[in-house]
Structure 1
Amino acid sequence: MTATASEDTTAPAVEGPAHFHHLAEDTLQGLFLHRPEPISQFWDARRLGVALGATLYVPATRPNLAEVISRRFASGVMTMVIDLEDAVADHEEPAAIASAIAAIAELEGTPAGQMLLFVRVRTAEQIETIASLTGGSDVLTGFVIPKFDAHNAIHALQAVRTAGTATGRHLWAMPVLESAAIVHRETRDDQLSLLSSHLDEYRDIVPAVRIGATDMCGLFGIRRDRDLTIYDVRVAADAIASVVNHLGRADGGHVITGPVWEYFADHERRFAPTLRHTPFRDHDAVWFRQELVSRDMDGLLREIALDRANGMNGKTVIHPRHVAPVHALSAVTHEEYHDALDVLATEAGGVARSSYGNKMNEMKPHRNWANRVMDRAAAFGVTNSGISFVDLLTAADVAA
């Protein structure tokens, strides 16, 4: 696939596995016009941020942690976070750190050791400790920084940069925005303006900014129902919109990832399922639609679509079943790809009918969108004509 301006073509050619690597060869040929490219930790920050996809959290105290991570990788998970924070009780912290370090050592030299693997720390001080105890391991991609705000931003980001220098590794930092100062209206704009400046200073080590919607809702005593998306919870939706407005702009902003979807089992419904019958009927997969509805996946699919519509890529997930929907909706369709090619073919501006003959492409207003499509195309591939997210989901389901 042709490189775009967002690629760092001078970076070392160190590559890992690609998204959908768990699917059979004949399945990949049937699904993709252009397959996902092997992910390199030396991609530029924006493209790597897009490539994160579904980021699966696992408690550091999970028994047989390295085995669990390896199993998830084999099922198509490409990004994981070993969690030392909310998922770990206070008295378990020392054991959790030891478990994380042992798992990283055990994954060295294995296929799963090539995935994007982060550690979510409790404090900036843990960054130096974990980086030094892992000995500059290639397995460790970087750190997730919770409760990130203007008060602790520089200290935490500098800790990641210092740890990378000390270990001879390019370690990445993923901040999580979930603090009260960012959510409350009277402090939000000042906080985000300061954070924008701090993040710009450390742009080379920040692939994405994550949103902690569960903590945001918790500030108001809210837990969103599984019949609703996060965008139905106005206080959270307002905060998310402000984050994207300040930090996710096309002219030098950062990748913002979608918040977690926390449900994964059937429940009594008050509203009709939001998943249309037509795409599944057209692909002889009506049975699969019912299966998705029974797993509460229709709400997840709708929220993923709304994440994209609101300027975000990828998503935090807490269940392996959620990975395939995120990746299926991240792949670039044949139509999207050709629209993007048309837009990027000229810098002169103007308007032209799309190759599919169903829309108008405006060359200047749609250019930033087209560049982002190319980042997704590199990470998640371009589907063959006639292939939809239903095909990708069913293929992943069969592989599982």
Structure 2
Amino acid sequence: MRHFGQLDAAVRRRLFHREPEPVDPRGDPAALAAALGGTLYCPADRAGLAADVRRQAARGAVSMVLCLEDAVADAELPAAEDNLVAQLTALAREAAAEQLPLLFVRVRTPEQIGELTRRLGPAAELLSGYVLPKFTEAVGARYLEQLAEAAELTGRRLYGMPVLESPELAHLERRRTELLAVAELLAKHRERVLAVRLGVTDLCAGYGLRRPPGLTAYDLAVVAAVIGDVVNVLGRADGTGFTVTGPVWEYFPLQRWGPELAGLRRELELDLANGLLGKTCVHPSQLPVVHARLVVSHEEYSDARVILRREAGGVLASSYRNKMNEARPHRVWAERTLRRAAAFGVARAGVGFDELLPAVCGG
């Protein structure tokens, strides 16, 4: 799998200065985290789940979450688990692994990780890991211990993606203590943590909030404060941080000139500006928008390469002659930009979002 692999080769050559590289599920974790892109959530109780996975892979999905938590009614959970096991078992027989997205299962409890892994048997080979909801210091250790046991059972690495969405993070008087404790816990299990996800819908629920399509998560002061603190503690560039992904966008389908598309585009800009990479998606129409925005511009790529060539510090003029590039302060930004470029490619000079999106959407 690789981003934009669904496009004709001629279209890719027209759009990209540097095409995206293949995504290796067993490669460098930092590169894998950067390549998640729009992670499409799908309820695990869908009768055609295996077909859905293959269909979305053909349309450009590179990461998917099969959800047993909020997407499934409580009374339907046992049937949803049975369906998940049956569908993944069928998928393992029918499809080559290289044709499938990175697959994660969102569980409800730590114990489900071990139970599902055992029930899946050889089909667990399809999984890249598990999504760990309502992640806090109190429950987090159990999640990560179960993940380690499941990995030992399968004989391969399984990643966890904790979701930060609990009241402990929203409430000011508890946030600092909780975030520092979560950071300490994740540091002990760093090799198992692929990315940290933000559950903004649950955070909003604690205050009775819901952003309209014309506003972003960053326009909600309470939510913006949580995002800033999560990045402050868990997104640091000193080697202690993790990839933090952007919050879900609730609105779909996305029309070319509608407020839903404009709102998502604006939120993606703010995600990147605030150090977030990737996004939770709940509808296939959101994926092309997310992926088109994650393509690195020719200008960003040119600046990043210039910065990384300069080891001794100092200030360099951009080849676009419109900004200052400082070799030391901008170095980590440049490294992250080239990592994103490897995953999503570099647009040709003069090609931007408005040219990329119609091509990715097939129009």
Alpha carbons 1:115, 1:139 under 8 Å: kept: no
- Give the one of 123, 132, 142 matched to 2:109: 123
Length-normalised TM-score, structure 2: 0.96
Alpha carbons 1:45, 1:205 under 8 Å: kept: no
Map of 2:212 onto structure 1: 225
State the secondary structure of the residue aligned to 2:161. strand
Map of 1:96 onto structure 2: 80
Map of 1:11 onto structure 2: none
Deviations 1:9-54 (CA, angstroms, capped at 9, x unpaired): xxxxxxxx10001101100111112111110122332221111000
Q: Distance in 2 between matches of 1:378 and 1:360?
A: 24
Map of 2:234 onto structure 1: 247
AA partner of residue 387 (structure 1): V
- Give the one of 61, 65, 85 matched to 1:81: 65
Extract unaligned runs of 5+ from structure 1.
1-16, 267-290
Map of 1:372 onto structure 2: 336
Map of 2:354 onto structure 1: 390
- Give the one of 249, 264, 279 matched to 2:252: 264
Map of 1:311 onto structure 2: 275
Map of 2:188 onto structure 1: 201
Map of 1:42 onto structure 2: 26
Q: Distance in 1 between matches of 2:211 and 2:320?
A: 39
Q: Distance in 1 between matches of 2:158 and 2:253?
A: 36
AA partner of residue 261 (structure 1): W
Shift of 1:295: 6.5
Higher relative helix content: 2
The 5-angstrom pairing of residues 319-330 of structure 1 reads 319-330=283-294
Alpha carbons 1:157, 1:173 under 8 Å: kept: yes
Aligned length: 359
Q: Distance in 2 between matches of 1:31 and 1:230?
A: 31
- Give the one of 31, 46, 57 matched to 2:41: 57
State the secondary structure of the residue aligned to 1:259. coil
Q: Distance in 2 between matches of 1:76 and 1:127?
A: 27
Aligned-residue Cα RMSD (Å) equals 1.4
Map of 1:18 onto structure 2: 2
Deviates more, 1:42-51 or 1:85-94: 42-51
Alpha carbons 1:264, 1:295 under 8 Å: kept: no
Shift of 1:207: 1.2
Q: Distance in 2 between matches of 1:239 and 1:70?
A: 36
Q: Distance in 2 between matches of 1:377 and 1:199?
A: 27
Extract unaligned runs of 5+ from structure 2.
none
Alpha carbons 2:53, 2:100 under 8 Å: kept: no
Q: Distance in 2 between matches of 1:294 and 1:234?
A: 25
AA partner of residue 338 (structure 1): S
Map of 1:297 onto structure 2: 261
Alpha carbons 1:157, 1:202 under 8 Å: kept: yes
The 5-angstrom pairing of residues 161-172 of structure 1 reads 161-172=148-159
Identity across aligned pairs (percent)?
A: 47
Q: Distance in 2 between matches of 1:103 and 1:21?
A: 25
AA partner of residue 307 (structure 2): V
State the secondary structure of the residue aligned to 2:362. helix
- Give the one of 133, 136, 139 matched to 2:119: 133
Q: Distance in 1 between matches of 2:322 and 2:253?
A: 38
State the secondary structure of the residue aligned to 1:52. coil
- Give the one of 90, 95, 117 matched to 1:110: 95
